[in-house]
Amino acid sequence: MVEKATLEKMTARMIHDVRTPLTVLNMLYATLQAYLPRAPEMREDLEILKEETARINAITASYREELGKLA
């Protein structure tokens, strides 16, 4: 059986490991959005990117909240 402290460390690391590339994706979204007036065909793709990064963020926030309950 996995100890509580080990599980907490693993979960915290997983959250960090997911949120780091998520931050990069959010920054890229902001940059690409600046080009949108010149490339309106990107609008749908950018909306998908925004929705999916928000979904990942919600998942990691949920894990972080559950982790906080363990402490």
Q: For the segment 35-68, what is each residue's pLDDT rounded down to a tens digit?
A: 877 888 888 888 899 999 999 999 989 988 888 8
Total structural domains in the chain?
1
CA distances from 51 to 2, 8, 71 (A): 34, 28, 31
Q: Which of 55, 51, 70, 65 is nearest to 8 (CA)?
A: 70
pTM higher than 0.75, yes or no? no
Residue 32's domain spans which residues?
A: 4-70
Q: For the segment 2-41, what is each residue's pLDDT rounded down to a tens digit?
A: 688 888 888 888 888 988 999 999 898 888 888 877 888 8
Residue 1, number of CB atoms within 10 A of its CB: 5
Which runs of consecutive H residues, i.e. helices, occur in the chain?
Answer: 4-35, 43-70
Chain centroid to Cα 26, Å, comes to 8
